[in-house]
Structure 1
Amino acid sequence: MRTFLRVTLTVLAFTVAALALPLTLGGITLSASFENRYTPRTDGISPQPVRRAHDPAKPTAVVVVGNEGAVVSDTLAPFEVLAASGAFNIYTVAPEARPVTLTGGLDLVPDFSFADLDRLLTSAAPDVVVVPALPDLGEPTTRPVTDWLRLQSSKGTLLMSVCSGSGVLASAGLLDGRRATAHWTRIDGFDDEFPAVDWIRGTRYVDDGDIVTTAGILSGIDGALRITERFAGTETARKAAEDVGWAHYSPGASTPMPQNTFEAADTVVGFNTAFRWDKPMLGVLLTTGIRELELAAVFDTYGQSLAVETTAVGVDDTPIQSRHGLTFAPRGTPAKNDVDRLIVPGAEAAAKHAADGYSPVYLHTGPGFPFDAVLQDLVRTTDTATTQWTARTLEYPTGHLALSGTAWPWTVTLRPFGLAVLGLLVAFGIRSRWRDQSPARGPGRVSRTTR
């Protein structure tokens, strides 16, 4: 019995030794990977947005972001679609008038605070409110947003959520008794958390009258085109889809799609988040006139991979305006930031060679949807498994792309096993040292110290 107990304790001790380093170091890196997605700026600057003309004859659509930020493509993709349609006054709005951080370190200066928008519309509600995924879903910090959404809904606003933004609507009680959808990684959890909602899978959006919900990330484009159809007709929506380069427009109905589920290859994201300690830092150059989708493509593709980090930089510290008038504030210049690569998104910036003095990588030098070039760069600089995970997370069809590269991040994958071996070697060393320093005991043996 004593022998069995001793063997059991020894096995347990060596198991703990093998797991200690991978779990400790991996846990630290994992936590930092998610925290860095919304790292707020610390310089205290608060630039003002550039005001755009308001046409009272057009319906007004707004994309709401929380004080803690929002997912970048959930925010910018519907914004560009609605702006490209020409059918709306389109703005961004937040509880407070200060910069908010979108995923990947892109600082958006909202067009209006809730109070400012109220004054612009003379207390009327906007016609459309788009709700992206917020990082603080379920936290008290979302209350200004959920309270405001309930108020707009009571006034007859058409609400549209993108990705896990449906969780924001559900937490506000606005989806009870309704059909809705969400990102495939969250919908099962929402099913448990919000049982009063009829969660629908295998579709890019669900139109339930005065609330439209969409599935993951780029499904927000389909939802925005549906909104455009309802306000301005199918032909206007078709032209908007062509303008933004979206080849998957389905007039009048949502396109069915296979419901994604977690697969064995998706473990790559665990290795990327926990054991890729040498993630390259990409400086993303902000240039005036850039399309909102070109920005979203860079920050969300690299960001969703969890294999690369990004930060927004500018040729100087001056805020820039995107094609449809949004204001973004860079975090310094390439010279002031320690970046491994300088990425320059935007076809216009590439045509103008906007950053030739910095040895940049121009991404959008050819035709295609803005996410195509970024996914192709990602597969060249990481691996196929990471890139396929990213595309599935974005819910972006990639059948038209040749995404071939290194199959798997083997170096990163071997790191936890190397740490486990190191832990075992340390444990063996400690055990051997302890045994060498312990007096011999047992029948027929004489202690070294009592001869």
Structure 2
Amino acid sequence: MRTVLRITGTALVFLLAALALPTALGTPTALGAFDDLYAPRTDSASPPSSPVAHDPAKPTAVVVVGDHGAVVSDTLAPYEILATTGAFNVYTVAPTGHPVPLTGGLDLVPDLSFTELDGLLGTSPDVVVVPALPDVGESTSKPVMDWLARQAAGGSLVLGICNGSRVLAAAGVLDGRPATSHWLRIDAAEDLYPAVDWVRGTRYVDDGDVITTAGILSGIDGTLHVVERLVGPEAAARAADVVGWRHFRPGTPAPMAQAQVEPADAVVAFNTAFRWDRSTAGVLLTDGVGEIELASVYDTYGQSLAVRTVAVSLDAAPVRSRHGLTFMPRAAPTGDLDRLVVPGASASDRRAADRYAELAPVYLHGEPGFPFDGVLRDLAHTTDVATAVWTAKVLEYPIDHLALTGSAWPWTLTLRPFSLAALGVLAALGLMRAVHGGRTGHLLSPPHPHVA
């Protein structure tokens, strides 16, 4: 019995030693990767507010962001689609007017605060778009929850994008209704909000005055459906063509197989916990850049958890996007960056970053196609194909048409936890040798019989 206990104890020591270093290094790396997604600015810079244009003859659509940020594609893709139609007054709104971080540290200056919007309209907006918020369920999101509940009661058509459905569920807007959400989070949503009838395997669910969509880029289909309902199918088809979205199906949502976690998805765990040397890409913001072009960069790199992004501009000055949103960079391009990437077809045409030739700027949208295509190709080339495939899966973006080239798998990254585990075992073995004077065999062998 003593022998069994001794062997079991020794095995346990080695197991703990094997886990110690991967856990000690992997945990802070993973926490840092998630913290970077919505890290707030370290200064209080904010451009002076400017009046927004408003046409009282048009319906008003607003995209809500919280003071702690929002998912970038959930926010910018619906905004661009609605603005592209020319049929709406479109604004971003937040509890306050301070810059808020979208995924990856893209600081958006909201067009209006809730109070300013109420003063402008005097009633609920016609359409309220709700992206996923990083602080849903926390006390900091209460101003958004309360405001959403009032707008829903006031007659707004509410569109929940991706995990924006959880925001709506937390606000009580979805009780007793069918709704959908991101494939990776819908099980948790079902546990947290059992009063909602959660639906899987569809791009969006239309329940009259509330529409919810599946993950991230499914929000494009949901927004086009709003355009279809309020403006008409031809306007929706034109908007889809303008932004390059080939997957819109008028009338009903396109069927979609419900994604599941698979062994190949383990790549995200390696990226999150063991890519402690993540590269930093400066993202050059330029005036006139498309909102979906910006989202394609920040969400692709951000969802991969393999690349850190920092917003830069030519003179570290605010920039205005194609449809008038204001973004605040965090720096000017410097040699501290590992790469400089440039979103926007117009920036590519005019070679906007050529003054930074020493940083070898990469123009991500120099070829025609949906903006996410070029960024996914770049991600596969600079990290690995498995990471790009995982990222497309999280984005819920079909990539059958893309030729992704690069390393098939992050083999060096994969070896890191196993190498750390081996080092831990060797360290434990060395310590045991030192403690027992080199007699490690004594720990595993039965005691010798006593010889008289």
TM normalised by structure 2 equals 0.96
Q: Number of aligned pairs?
A: 442
Conservation of the 8 A alpha-carbon contact between 1:50 and 1:327: no
Letter in 1 for 2:143: P
Following the alignment from structure 1 to structure 2, what is the Cα–Cα distance between the partners of residues 50 and 169?
30
Equivalent residue number for residue 252 of structure 2: 253
The corresponding residue for 2:336 is 338
Match of 2:43 in 1: 43
Could you tell me how far apart the structure 1 residues matched to 2:401 and 2:449 are?
77
The 5 Å alignment of 1:281-360 reads 281-335=280-334, 338-358=336-356, 359-360=360-361
Q: State the secondary structure of the residue aligned to 1:288.
A: coil
**1:50–1:326: 8 Å Cα contact kept in structure 2?**
no
Q: Is the 8 A contact 1:48 1:109 kept in 2?
A: no
Write the distance in 2 (CA, Å) between the matches of 1:114 and 1:172: 16
Amino acid aligned to 1:266 = D
Q: Counterpart in 1 of 2:406?
A: 405
Cα distance in 1 for residues equivalent to 2:118 and 2:368 = 40
Shift of 1:426: 0.5
User: Partners in 1 of 2:48 and 2:176 — Cα distance?
Assistant: 41
The corresponding residue for 2:108 is: 108
| Cα distance in 2 between the residues matched to 1:13 and 1:260 | 39
Secondary structure of the 2:108 match is strand
Question: 1:253 Cα deviation (Å)?
Answer: 1.1
Deviations 1:177-214 (A, max 9, x none): 10100000001111111111111111101010000000
Contact 1:177 1:197 in 2 (8 A): yes
Which position in structure 1 is the counterpart of 2:13? 13
Supply the distance in 2 between the matched residues of 1:338 and 1:218 (Cα, whole angstroms). Answer: 32
Contact kept in structure 2, 1:314 and 1:330, CA below 8 Å? yes
Alignment partner, residue 71 of structure 1: 71
Provide structure 2 residue ranges, at least 5 long, that are not aligned to the other structure.
none
Moved more, 42-51 or 74-83: 42-51
In structure 1, give the amino acid aligned to 2:435.
W
Q: Which residue of 1 aligns with 2:93?
A: 93
Alignment of 1:20-419 (within 5 A): 20-121=20-121, 123-335=122-334, 338-358=336-356, 359-419=360-420
Partner of 1:427: 428
Q: Percent identity?
A: 62
Q: Give CA-to-partner distance per residue, 1:61-90, whole Å, 9 cap, x none.
A: 000000100000000000000000111000
Amino acid at match of 1:177: G
Structure 1: 4+ residue segments shifted above 4 A? 440-445
Contact 1:203 1:254 in 2 (8 A): yes
CA distance in 1, matches of 2:330, 2:212: 33
Contact kept, 8 Å, 1:182 with 1:215, in 2: the verdict is: yes
Q: Is the Cα contact below 8 Å between 1:49 and 1:326 reproduced in 2?
A: no
How far the C-alpha of 1:51 sits from its partner, in A, is 3.5
Shift of 1:6: 1.2
Give distance in 1, aligned partners of 2:88 and 2:48: 22
Q: Quote the offset at 1:52 in angstroms.
A: 3.4
For the 8 Å contact 1:18–1:421, the answer to whether it is kept is: yes
How big is the alpha-carbon RMSD for the aligned residues of Structure 1 and Structure 2? 1.5
Deviations 1:335-390 (A, max 9, x none): 2x721000011010011111102131111111100000000101101111111100
Mapped to 2, the partners of 1:317 and 1:307 lie a distance apart of: 25
Question: How far did 1:328 drift?
Answer: 0.1
CA shift for structure 1 position 48: 3.1
Q: Is the 8 A contact 1:49 1:327 kept in 2?
A: no
Work out the CA distance in 1 between the residues paired with 2:275 and 2:211. Answer: 38
Residues 50, 325 of structure 1: 8 Å contact kept: no
Structure 1 position 404, deviation (Å): 3.2
Q: For 2:202 and 2:364, how far apart are their aligned partners in 1?
A: 31
Output the CA distance in 2 between the equivalents of 1:263 and 1:3: 41
CA distance in 2, matches of 1:310, 1:289: 20
| Deviation of the 1:437 alpha carbon | 8.1
Aligned-partner Cα distance in 2 for 1:397–1:52: 37
SS at match of 2:174: coil
The Cα of 1:24 is off from its aligned counterpart by: 1.5
Give yes or no for contact 1:49–1:109 (8 Å, CA) kept in 2: no
3-state SS, counterpart of residue 257 of structure 2: coil
Aligned residue identity for 1:333: A
Q: 1: CA distance between counterparts of 2:349 and 2:48?
A: 29
Taking the aligned partners of 1:44 and 1:383, their CA distance within structure 2 comes to 37
Query: What is the deviation of 1:289?
Result: 0.3
What TM-score do the two structures reach when normalised by structure 1?
0.96
Render the CA deviation track for 1:306-347: whole Å, top value 9, x for unaligned.
111101000012101000000000011002x72100001101
